[in-house]
Amino acid sequence: MPDRIDSHQHFWRPARGDYGWLRPDMPALAPLCRDFLPADLAPLRAAHGVGRTVLVQAAPSEAETDFLLGLADQDDSIAAVVGWVDLGWTASAQALQRRAAHPRFKGVRPMLQDLPDRDWIAHAPQPAVVATLVRLGLCFDALVKPANLAGLLRFVDRWPDLRVVVDHAAKPALALGWAADWAPAWRTGMAELARRPNVWCKFSGLLTEAGADAARQPLTTLRPVWDVLFDGFGAQRLMWGSDWPVLNLVAGYGDWLSACASLAAALSPEQQAGFWSGNAERFYGLAGAGAP
């Protein structure tokens, strides 16, 4: 069984108080409104050959980043932590400097999809903060939707030395169907981003965007997305992630992994190794990785 790396998962403790989106009064989110911690994921990792994970922020607070780094100190399966700072605040450069001293702090993720200004990333970040990311060799996870892609492209072009990964393939609105307005913007935006060699993509979170009904036919749902992403990013810049526990809303960990394995089955052994682990190693600079 391969030693896979889950390039995108979350842990949280809602009682900490900074997960504003985790609302128990919303029935669709109620299953997520409890603690999800390393012991909950451990049996799933063991069952499916996932040796290491990249733990990604889920709250726009530096306190949550400290909480995640604390979990990483206690659990060696957490190979990397992607945290949060306010990119629009000059003092965040010092915050990055401090956190970069932790060997598993590998990057940041602003929650761009939730901001009212869909082009915020193109004009609002402080240049000194982004320059600090580049200087420290940290990465940038882009949590975006199709409407954010034009602004993200301008940001990427301004910072060609910053490693950027598009989370959840920019959340194509699969539940609305390919004839809806999101599709042309998504296809164009992802193709343009894929032409930039510093941009990578996570194959994660897609069944959540499709909905529970479509998740029952995962290959039919995922194949068009896979074809677009593989055509653009190739086998060298596409990495597998689960988006657990959000994944639980529509599918099980094993169901998602099996669907992805079916899609990746046509790849060469070397390409499969990249998709399952090697690309995440190189992007985040994990132990055993070659140069990104």
How open is the CA angle 18-23-24, to the nearest 5 degrees? Answer: 125
Residue 269 to residue 271: CA distance in whole angstroms:
5
What residues make up the domain containing 230?
4-284
Q: Note whether residue 97 is domain-resident.
A: yes
3-state secondary structure of 202: strand
Alpha carbon distances (Å) from 127 to 123, 130, 158, 160, 197: 10, 5, 10, 13, 21
Q: Does the N-terminal peptide bond of residue 160 adopt cis geometry, omega within 30 degrees of 0?
A: no
pLDDT at 2: 58
Residue 93 to residue 133: CA distance in whole angstroms:
8
pLDDT at 289: 61
Token representation of residue 251:
């599918």
- Picking from 6, 16, 140, the residue whose alpha carbon sits closest to that of residue 67 is 16
Q: How many domains does the chain have?
A: 1
CATH number of the domain residue 163 falls in: 3.20.20.140
Q: Note whether residue 112 is domain-resident.
A: yes
Q: What is the pTM of this model?
A: 0.96
Alpha carbon distances (Å) from 49 to 86, 119, 244, 268: 35, 39, 15, 19
Q: Note whether residue 292 is domain-resident.
A: no
Of the CA atoms within 13 Å of residue 193, those in its CB half-sphere come to: 35
Q: Note whether residue 289 is domain-resident.
A: no
Q: Note whether residue 124 is domain-resident.
A: yes
Q: What string of H, E and C letters represents the secondary structure of 257-282?
A: HHHHHHHHCCCCHHHHHHHHHHHHHH
Which strands form 78-83's sheet, in the order they lie side by side?
A: 4-9, 50-56, 78-83, 105-108, 139-142, 163-166, 199-203, 238-240
Q: Note whether residue 290 is domain-resident.
A: no
Residue 157 to residue 205: CA distance in whole angstroms:
26
pLDDT at 214: 87
Q: Note whether residue 152 is domain-resident.
A: yes
Q: What is the pLDDT along the chain (292 residues), one digit of tens a residue?
A: 458 999 999 999 999 999 999 999 999 999 999 999 999 999 999 999 999 999 999 999 999 999 999 999 999 999 999 999 999 999 999 999 999 999 999 999 999 999 999 999 999 999 999 999 999 999 999 999 999 999 999 999 999 999 999 999 999 999 999 999 999 999 999 999 999 999 999 999 999 999 989 889 999 999 999 999 999 999 999 999 999 999 999 999 999 999 999 999 999 999 999 999 999 999 999 986 654 5
Q: Residue 4 forms beta bridges with which residues?
A: 50
Q: Note whether residue 216 is domain-resident.
A: yes
